[in-house]
Amino acid sequence: MSERLKQGDATRRKTLGEDHVNRSRKGQTDFDQPFLDLITEAAWGHVWSRDTIPPRERSMLTLALLAGLGNWEEFRLHLRATANTGCTAEDIREVLLHVAIYAGVPRANHAFKIAREILAERGENV
């Protein structure tokens, strides 16, 4: 395992949580292991591990991009990760208001629906 892959794995675990990463790794096969290693090294090792943007802001950028592109499964994953990145419900609302203007109201509308569900699961009154 390369140093960048180790760093990416540590950042991924810190951001998404041990349980998620363990489930993901447990379910990997020889077929998809190279892909999981690629995203762990590239996304989590090269990008998320950089210290130029704090995790809260990186989380907000990621949410905006995923909502704007309509990548709802990943949006849910990263929305749950906000519990670990310091991104608040107010931050999420501001992100989704930007999505409405720059990516479209239908995308933001759906993202708000998902956000309300996940924040409610966490016991946040939204």
59 neighbors 89 (Cβ within 8 angstroms): no
Domain 53-126 has CATH 1.20.1250.20: no
Instruction: Express each pLDDT in 87-109 by its tens digit.
Output: 999 999 999 999 999 999 999 99
Place of tokens 């704090």: 54
pTM over 0.75: yes
Instruction: Express each pLDDT in 50-92 by its tens digit.
Output: 999 999 999 999 999 999 999 999 999 999 999 999 999 999 9
The pLDDT assigned to 123 comes to 92
Domain ranges within the chain, ordered by starting residue: 1-52, 53-126
The pLDDT assigned to 40 comes to 96
Identity (one letter) of the amino acid at 44? Answer: W
pLDDT bin (cut points 50, 70, 90) of residue 1 is: confident
5 neighbors 41 (Cβ within 8 angstroms): yes
CA 50 to chain centre: 15
Residue 126 has pLDDT above 90, yes or no: no
The pLDDT assigned to 54 comes to 97
CA distance 13 to 33: 17
The angle, 0 to 180 degrees and rounded to 10, between the axes of the packed helices 55-69 and 72-85 is 160
